[in-house]
Chains A and B, each alone.
Chain A
Amino acid sequence: MTPEPVLSVERLVIEVARTGARVVDDVSLTVGPGEVLGLAGESGCGKTTLSLALLGYTRRGLAASSGRVRVGDRSLLEMGEEALEHERGSLVTYVPQDPASALNPALRVGTQLEEVISFHRRNEDRAGRRVLVTKVLEDVGLPTTRSLLESYPHQLSGGQQQRIAIAMAIVNRPRLIVMDEPTTGLDVTTQARVLQTIRDVCREHGGGVVYVTHDLAVVSSLAIRVAVMYAGRLAEVGPADQVLQRPAHPYVHGLLQAVPDIEGRRELTGIPGQAPDPGRRLEQCLFAPRCPLAVAECRQAIPPPVAVGEGHRAWCIRVAEQAGAPVAGPGVAPREVAADGSGALLAIDDLNAGYGSRPVLHGISLSIPTGASLALVGESGSGKTTLARCIAGLHTGYTGTISLAGAQLARAARARPAAAREAIQYVFQNPYSSLNPRRSIEESIAQPLHYTEEHPDRAEIDRRVGRALDSVSLSAAVRRRYPHELSGGQRQRVAIARALIVEPRLLVCDEVTSALDVSVQAVVIELLDELRRRRGLSMLFVTHNLALVHSVADEIAVIEEGRILERGPVERVLARPTSEATRALVANVPRLAPVASGAG
């Protein structure tokens, strides 16, 4: 006799009120007591909208047009605001994605925590509340001091803020906790700790948990069951170990191939194209345009759910061809460092950099051989971006030398000879600000050509822009468009095209995929790798994501607090790190491993 589900979502549809475009389309889910359901998907899939609906809440402009959400015995979407106020925070609670913005900056942390209790437990007096607060702070691993409770949110670290948010969500012993990517924005070490706290909480807590995330590796260590969404609809639902290791839906399969693997056992493969926006979603399989297994029938109707196993369903008519194929693939070939004996292309000697009086980098000495790719890995605040900027000539506050092919470079980019400026090209992290919104794609890519020594003519510029677009696999139709018409991944490729058009020798990539979805990230990484191999480009790949380095670099340098901890071939450093800090970093990276034995 299966116990009564804690959460039951029945054919939920959420639309944009004005246009009727569906953000969540006919989704049904259940969560049993003690169960952790991972709700996964990329940006735009509707998972956040769905997660808010589990509290009976829709954002401005959206409305639930049909379907039901039941938590325990309450049907939330049919309740009025006042009744919902009663249930939110006690029956079902929410842990937000960004605790820094989710905590009220004008109220003390203790007040915000205590009021959750006082709203829902009217019979508790002051002393009783204090006891509850103390207990819940212990549960989440925070000190129970008065000074903590009297702090304002901005006085706490990111990890502490998130623990407060978690405390607020568990103190009233809810039946359902909804967590929306609660560890995004935390550095890897803090993330690992907070995740552990979450695991403990899930285990102790008797109700259900819905854990929303885009990071499949995180989900695999936490969830018992997984539901994957795509473009507002469910793609696959089932036990975590089955879905994550033997996915039935081609999208889930493709997604898992795109997740970076720190063990380096699997080559990174992306999914070209992008998901349709709400309003452009037709009555067919929405993944078909990007699907390697698509046939004509896929475009004729929305695929019905197909049973793949016990409690395991996938919405795809080609499940039989796909089902069971393990997510693996050719392992990543070990790279030989392309040392061609011509010495280092870029050499940094004893660099000390800072901002005003604040020192950021200490005694950095590093070299990048010609044709080699070096990954510079560190947490935020480690100084890696500062180093990249110094190399590019964007930051001049440093001592020490940077030399290109033996010749020392001036600190400011403007002071360098044109040849040096062309030789080192920089690609920025944020695809939304690296292109001038007022220039067409064509103009942006051609921009550097107007300032090179050779001054190519109109026809030549045209040709080179065409070739640049080709090399990043963008069609010529993109030329006349403006940045706001392209997706993040496309913009990033335009930025790369712009960098390549002057035929640089060193490409500095500063967290270029951090703002992109996993599947798009993989596409860009593949592109960078291909370019590097074909053109013999040297690359400095700056990232905080250790798992990416196998796919993009020959060597890795780990940086922490402005110092290089170690450096060497990727294989060696990740498998046998010499420094303790590196070891800890490697250990803290979530892995797409067999699911941990969670609660129950």
Chain B
Amino acid sequence: MSSVPASQSEQRSDSRARWSDSIVLRTIVRRLLLGLLTLFLVSVVVFAATQLLPGDAARAVLGRDATPDRLAAFRREFHLNESWLQQYWSWLSNLLTGNPGTSIANGLPVWSGVEPRIVNSLYLLIVVALVGIPLSIALGVWAALRRDRLFDHATSTITLAAAALPEFVVAIALIILFATIVLQVLPPVSLVAPGTSVWSHPTVLVLPVATLTIAVVPYIYRMCRGAMIEVLESEYIEMARLKGTPRRVLLLRHALPNALAPTVQAIALTFAYLAGGVVVVEYIFGYPGIGQGLVNAVSARDLPTIQLIVLILAAFYVLVNIIADVVVILVTPKLRTSS
């Protein structure tokens, strides 16, 4: 029994992805270049904001009663008498060769103060990721499956409220509840000497992690739920139902892979956003991370430290975005194969 065969014009060439001319590779490279460009522009803005503003930077930083000697020394150190381009160039080249300068606040190399802070902040973020991501996805998927019922309404309302609250409100509330007034089971402040690892006193992590998790979960939950609902309403899921696909297979094999891409993007963006959120949280809990470092540096007008930390945060942001884009491509067949 033969039917009308598909004509020549209907046949397509080999569909297997060839990694040599792979789209993924090209995209990574393109995103990296774009990221570098963005970082470069960010560095210009950082530099301009801190050293090129009208007025005397030396006097602004050192204060009104700085001696002329100190002012002169400052100007020399920061090349303030040279042209903008030269200033930028010397700053950038120092930075790239691993010499971000000396802290104004304590006279030590900037890097030695910043490095352990980066590590501590990373610990914080990793724990938040390990706790927050699975929680949000589970909530989001379940809410989508139980759409418009009690669980969905309740979770959506609670997360709506949680998303609105500024982090410091959440942090203070948690402190009041668990560390000072209602209960006193957790430390309100991280009494960890700067330079030591946080893991020596793990309870110090609990409240900051809780605060950040509460900040992060609503966004990922919202996105995951939205993506899942859209997928569950799609024609291909309807078709799968009409084929008699068993429920579990429908959810895991048919639905979830399609909801991954938007969820991954939401996760990445949320964590990039945390780069800023971490500032307030670390400050409140006295957590020895990079956010606290930034606040201290700003209070002390410690230019080199400010510049370095901001650049690191921006680099982190750019990197997370790149990773997210790549993951999305890997997870979406339409994007990673030719058609």
Contacts and interface: CB of A to CB of B under 8 A. Distances in A.
Interface string B213-252: 0000000000000000000011111111111111101000
A89 B14 contact: no
Interface stretch (B2-10, B39-47, B282-290): B2-10
A318 interface: no
Interface string A78-94: 00010011111110011
A119 B245 contact: yes
A152 B15 contact: yes
Contacts of A107: 253-254, 257
B334 interface: yes
Interface in A107-123: 107, 115-116, 119-120
A104 B243 contact: no
A155 B337 contact: yes
A193 B244 contact: no
Contacts of B334: 105, 152, 154
Interface stretch (A139-147, A276-284, A471-479, A592-600): A139-147
Contacts of A163: 6
Contact of A116 (B5, B243, B257): B243
Interface string A51-89: 010010101100000000000000000000100111111
B235 A101 contact: yes
B93 interface: no
A141 B6 contact: yes
Given A101-B234, A102-B236, A141-B2, A157 B245 contact: no
Contacts of B338: 155
Contact of B244 (A52, A119, A196): A119
Interface stretch (A197-205, A342-350, A419-427): A197-205
Among A120, A151, A168, A197, which residue has the most Cβ atoms of chain B within 10 A? A151
Interface residues of B, number: 41
Contacts of A160: 6, 10, 12
A101 B2 CA distance: 28
Contact of B333 (A89, A96, A105): A105
Contacts of B296: none
Nearest to A119: B244
A460 interface: no
B332 A106 contact: yes
Contacts of A88: 241-244
B83 interface: no
A204 B1 contact: yes
B245 A102 contact: no
A59 B241 CA distance: 11
Contacts of B7: 193
B6 A143 contact: yes
A89 B2 contact: no
B253 A142 contact: no
B254 A85 contact: no
Interface in A163-214: 163, 168, 190, 193, 196-197, 200-201, 204
Interface string B67-90: 000000000000000000000000
B258 interface: yes
B20 interface: no
A141 B235 contact: no
B339 interface: yes
Contacts of A159: 6, 10
A209 to B, nearest CB: 15
B263 to A, nearest CB: 13
B299 interface: no
A280 B334 CA distance: 43
A105 B334 CA distance: 7
Contacts of A96: 235, 239, 242
B64 to A, nearest CB: 59
B223 to A, nearest CB: 18
B149 interface: no
Nearest to A159: B10
A321 interface: no
A89 B245 CA distance: 8
A207 B247 CA distance: 28
A159 B4 CA distance: 12
Interface in B145-168: none
Given A143-B11, A200-B3, A55 B242 contact: yes
A93 B242 CA distance: 7
Contact of A90 (B237, B241, B244, B339): B244
B235 A102 contact: yes
A104 B243 CA distance: 12
A139 B15 CA distance: 23
A57 B236 contact: no
A156 interface: yes
B239 A94 contact: yes
Contact of A168 (B9, B11, B12, B243): B243
Interface in B1-53: 1-7, 9-12, 14-16
A197 B4 contact: yes
Among B16, B235, B244, which residue has the most Cβ atoms of chain A within 10 A? B244
B240 A104 contact: yes
A98 interface: yes
Given A107-B253, A143-B6, A89 B11 contact: no
A120 B242 CA distance: 13
Among B237, B245, B332, which residue has the most Cβ atoms of chain A within 10 A? B245
Given A141-B6, A197-B4, A85 B244 contact: yes
Contacts of A470: none
Given A89-B242, A89-B244, A150-B16, A139 B234 contact: no
A60 B147 CA distance: 12
Given A106-B257, A193-B4, A86 B10 contact: no
Among A81, A154, A201, which residue has the most Cβ atoms of chain B within 10 A? A154
A124 interface: no
A52 B235 CA distance: 13
Contacts of A193: 4, 6-7
Interface string A31-50: 00000000000000000000
B3 A101 contact: no
B258 A106 contact: yes
A492 B77 CA distance: 73
Given A104-B254, A150-B16, A197-B3, A155 B235 contact: no
A93 B240 CA distance: 11
A295 B247 CA distance: 53
B244 A86 contact: yes
A103 interface: yes
A159 B8 CA distance: 12
Nearest to A156: B12
Contact of A106 (B9, B233, B333): B333
B12 A151 contact: yes
B200 to A, nearest CB: 45
Contacts of B12: 151, 155-157, 160
B5 A141 contact: yes
A98 B235 contact: yes
A147 B244 CA distance: 26
Contacts of B253: 107
A556 B331 CA distance: 48
Contacts of B337: 152, 154-155
Contacts of B257: 106-107
A94 B239 CA distance: 8
A156 B10 CA distance: 8
A107 B250 CA distance: 12
Among A101, A104, A197, which residue has the most Cβ atoms of chain B within 10 A? A104
21 contacts: A88-B241, A93-B242, A94-B243, A96-B242, A98-B235, A104-B258, A106-B257, A106-B333, A107-B253, A107-B257, A115-B245, A116-B243, A120-B244, A138-B3, A152-B15, A154-B333, A155-B337, A155-B338, A160-B10, A196-B4, A197-B4
**7 A-B pairs with the lowest CB-CB distances in the bound complex, closest first:** A89-B244, A88-B244, A101-B235, A151-B15, A89-B243, A106-B257, A102-B239
Given A88-B242, A104-B239, A163-B6, 5 more contacts: A101-B234, A138-B2, A152-B15, A154-B334, A204-B1
